[in-house]
Structure 1
Amino acid sequence: MRLSRVVKPVVLVSTVVAGLTALVVGPAAVGSAAAGRVYYVSPTGIDSAAGTQAAPWATIAHAQSVVQAGDTVYFRGGAYNYTHSASSCRSQTDRVDAITLNKGGSAGNPIRYMAYPGERPIFDFSRVRDNCRIKGFDVTGSWIHLKGLEVTGAPQNNNLNHESWGIWVSGSNNTFEQLDLHHNMGPGLFLQDGGGNLVLDSDSHDNYDPHTSNGAGESADGFGAHISANHPGNVFRGCRAWWNSDDGFDLINAFSPVTIENSWAWLNGYLPGTTTASGNGNGFKAGGYGGKYVSNGVKHTVRSSVAFNNRSSGFYANHHTVADDFFNNTAYSNHPDFNMLGISSSGAAIGLGKLRNNIAYGGTLLSNMTGTNAANNSWDLGVTLPNAGFQSVSTSGWDAPRQSDGGLPVLPHLHLAPNSALIDKGVDVGLPYSGAAPDLGAFESPGRVAGGSSRHSG
């Protein structure tokens, strides 16, 4: 299902750059973009150049020194290689960054760093040799929009730390769109702080941390969000996480609510490209505070998402202290599919979670369900689920190229068959649906739309 996508049309923007009037063809930016200037960066550019399409700059650092709110910087295709961070390590456990984005835009006028249409800029940090924790991008500013960039190779160069990061975020109201994050020695993208950030239509895969201090493979998640209190509004939408050595999505130690929707996680918990066990291996780890009860835990939401073939749980409460919402998810062949292990104020293990309209099929279905608020899920119906109840149960092809607008590929896998016993067996949880009632699982069958709204099956 596709939720609340905004299709951004192609427009012509007349802009003045370095004294020259240029007609720029590109995607319309969010908000009032027409007032902003447009600049260009290329692997073959020179920072002393004009920053025009004909005379591009060489680095994002120089671009940031020039741009203002509402401006757009297009990156031409090719490799942007980094060999050192912007500052020196003060110790082997220090944190340094190769790229610092600390200049923010404003509401309706973000600063945009985008791939030139049809091209693929690659930010490669694999040659950075600083002997401490490395952030590829350190986004401390707010109202920044990164789109269409590939980020790879953020390294760990000693074994005294847990992980490094492809992109580390502590600013607010940023958008991270159509990013390809891979082969980093830690999470591809990590929300450390800030509120109102949107991670949209992005992939994080093949991340592995061989030198982490708590054991090889134990900290390289696809996406992480460990937000402090009073920073609501962080959302992962339309994202994919696969073959990360630890978890696909990890919300441990998040003290502000996070929403994950319309996202897929598979084959996490293995050495990338193999079935050799590595880290934790959960698809969606929806919270927890290190196995301890805290009085200020928050509710997270995971909805319309798919987890399959993860080494451990598909959807996992991870000793969370409040009941998360798990709505319209599909779990297939995980171990278990849904594990609602929570923790009480006395420190006792309990089942904790609100579950509606979910499907558990294959693998081990359930764990720690006693005490949960569960209804209208596949296991509540008393029916046997055959493979024929789905259009396909294939686990191949989920990493297919995205649609032209960045949306998830259209696949039949784990969509309900027309005669499935799970059609119209759900309950209204506030998501659009077709037919008399919501279907179970992540993909709504097409048909008459209730209430005049639409729910896509992408």
Structure 2
Amino acid sequence: MTTSHRATQALLSTAAIVSVLAAATNSAAAQGTTTNEPQSQAAAVYYVAPGGSDSATGTKDAPWASIAHAQSIAEPGDTVYFRGGTYTYSHASTSCASQTARVDAVTLNKSGASGSPIRYWAYPGENPVFDFSDMTDDCRIKGFDVTGSWIHLKGLEIAGVPQNNTLNHESWGVWNSGSNNTYEHLDIHDITGPGLFLQDGGDNLVLNTDSHDNYDAKSSSGAGTNADGFGAHIPADNPGNVFRGNRAWNNSDDGFDLISARSSVTIESSWAWSSGYVPGTDTRAGDGNGFKAGGYGGEYVDYGVKHTVRQSVAFNNGAAGFYANHHPVANDFFNNTGYDNHPDFNMLGVSPSGESTGLGNLRNNIAYGGTLTSNMTGTDSSHNTWDLGTPLSDGQFQSTSSTGWDAPRQADGSLPSLPNLRPTSTGDLIDEGTDVDLPYKGEAPDLGAFEVR
């Protein structure tokens, strides 16, 4: 792009830039992030819309047609708005070299910069849908393959990435291998594999995103065995990956899966339910854990890392709500609520000798309904309902309903405010916890995922 064209874009989009700056600042403040991602004065705003043309100017009145063309023009600090409607894909950007090769429908390999990411955002109030269900490529498919860094996706719906043969474990909705990327307020569903997968990279934030109804019917390891809501299998030396405010439901394998991750991951303020079933049925499929916090194939390894799962809820999962999965080190499980899982907390770890043992640091957790705990011998467990002997009944909660958890998000993308599994303000779950460096309101933290009073 010429300098004069970028200057024209900047002049055409001054009002939009101000709007983007305000939205970024307000979102960061609401979510407690540390970077406001300011744009430079020269940053431009572009538009893409169904029915647009890549030979157009990329303005609101003359939008482009494709994200590929937008990427070829956008520079660090720029914002690309996607108008509502469906963006349909029938083939990948390259052909399959073999039936087990990997191909991409959307490839984002141009990086932004620190403080100046490249933003690919839904136009406010509109719903752009990236529909990959018509893709016919006879190999493994990534809907979005994000290899660049300092990229921010926001407000997009990503659906229908298929598997077209039975030789592979899964395809993926979003595959990340870059760093310092943000995935915000995405709606990912009906993927034949994990909805969003962090394969590599550090300091990525998955924020206020939903991943649901994923099912890998043609998986080479068995139907339903690899379609997680979210996965992070990142290598060593990639710290800082965070999942915050996310929901995973009706996924045929696990809600969140950290198996084989060799860098620490934090999951917080997230919900997982109805994992391990063919979506919409009672037919068991994959593993069925809400939060699978690590593990390395069941063997002891000396490179295990500590993960953190906190202020999160798991209910009605086919297997464990919170699962250590033969992890070789003690993960932190703080202020979580497990309800009607099998069990709610399973701390099955592995010792240096290869023997099974309980491993985990557990504080301020609630286990209610289903089977409460298993493999607790050897854990560091304190101030949890099972330690305190807290009497539990439906009356201790504002509601124990398993419906309504998929309600629309709040205007800023945050989780809906529900009474479900929130303690009553005068019950035995209030002020019964211990300080674990999380904010609380009363004399001591409340038990479970929700701080009430």
Give the Cα separation in 2 of the matches to 1:386 and 1:154. Answer: 42
1:22 alignment partner in structure 2: 13
Give the Cα separation in 2 of the matches to 1:82 and 1:417. Answer: 48
Asked if 1:347 is matched to 2:354, the reply is yes
Question: How do 1:203-222 residues align onto structure 2 when only pairs under 5 Å count?
Answer: 203-222=210-229
Deviation for aligned residue 1:16:
4.4
SS at match of 2:248: strand
| Cα distance change of structure 1 residues 41 and 381 upon mapping to structure 2, 3 Å threshold | same
Give the Cα separation in 1 of the matches to 2:321 and 2:181. Answer: 28
Match of 1:32 among 32, 35, 38: 38
Give the Cα separation in 2 of the matches to 1:238 and 1:53. Answer: 31
Question: How do 1:350-429 residues align onto structure 2 when only pairs under 5 Å count?
Answer: 350-429=357-436
Deviations along 1:75-129, one digit per CA (max 9) or x if unpaired, are: 0000000011011111111111011100000000000000000000000111111
Unmatched tracts of structure 1, length 5 or more:
1-14, 447-458
Match of 2:440 among 429, 433, 437: 433
Deviations along 1:250-289, one digit per CA (max 9) or x if unpaired, are: 0000000000000000001111111211111000000001
Deviation for aligned residue 1:19:
7.6
Asked if 1:321 is matched to 2:312, the reply is no
Deviations along 1:17-66, one digit per CA (max 9) or x if unpaired, are: 44853343434234222521000000110000000000000000000000
Asked if 1:280 is matched to 2:287, the reply is yes
Deviation for aligned residue 1:191:
0.1
Letter of the structure 2 residue corresponding to residue 31 of structure 1: E
Q: Percent identity?
A: 68
Deviation for aligned residue 1:189:
0.3
Deviates more, 1:355-364 or 1:24-33: 24-33
| Cα distance change of structure 1 residues 17 and 309 upon mapping to structure 2, 3 Å threshold | farther
Deviation for aligned residue 1:312:
0.4
Q: CA RMSD in A?
A: 1.1
Q: Under a length normalisation based on structure 2, what TM-score does the superposition of the two structures give?
A: 0.94
- Report how many residues are paired: 432
Give the Cα separation in 2 of the matches to 1:444 and 1:377. Answer: 15
| Cα distance change of structure 1 residues 313 and 17 upon mapping to structure 2, 3 Å threshold | farther
Deviations along 1:158-189, one digit per CA (max 9) or x if unpaired, are: 11111000000000000000000000000110
Match of 1:71 among 47, 55, 78: 78
Give the Cα separation in 1 of the matches to 2:215 and 2:303. Answer: 32
1:307 alignment partner in structure 2: 314
Question: Which structure shows the bigger proportion of residues in helix conformation?
Answer: 2
Give the Cα separation in 2 of the matches to 1:430 and 1:384. Answer: 26
Give the Cα separation in 2 of the matches to 1:20 and 1:445. Answer: 48
SS at match of 1:24: helix
Give the Cα separation in 1 of the matches to 2:8 and 2:447. Answer: 52
Deviation for aligned residue 1:302:
0.1
SS at match of 1:333: strand
| Cα distance change of structure 1 residues 353 and 24 upon mapping to structure 2, 3 Å threshold | same
Give the Cα separation in 2 of the matches to 1:24 and 1:154. Answer: 36
Give the Cα separation in 2 of the matches to 1:398 and 1:16. Answer: 46
Give the Cα separation in 2 of the matches to 1:17 and 1:111. Answer: 19
Deviations along 1:314-373, one digit per CA (max 9) or x if unpaired, are: 000000010000000000000000000001111111100000000000000001000000
Give the Cα separation in 2 of the matches to 1:20 and 1:27. Answer: 15
2:106 alignment partner in structure 1: 99
Give the Cα separation in 2 of the matches to 1:303 and 1:119. Answer: 32
Deviation for aligned residue 1:419:
2.2
SS at match of 1:380: helix
Question: How do 1:179-258 residues align onto structure 2 when only pairs under 5 Å count?
Answer: 179-258=186-265
Does the 8 Å contact 1:17/1:52 carry over to 2? no
Q: Under a length normalisation based on structure 1, what TM-score does the superposition of the two structures give?
A: 0.93
Asked if 1:334 is matched to 2:352, the reply is no
Does the 8 Å contact 1:86/1:97 carry over to 2? yes
Give the Cα separation in 1 of the matches to 2:235 and 2:221. Answer: 23
Does the 8 Å contact 1:176/1:199 carry over to 2? yes
Deviation for aligned residue 1:313:
0.3
| Cα distance change of structure 1 residues 19 and 318 upon mapping to structure 2, 3 Å threshold | closer
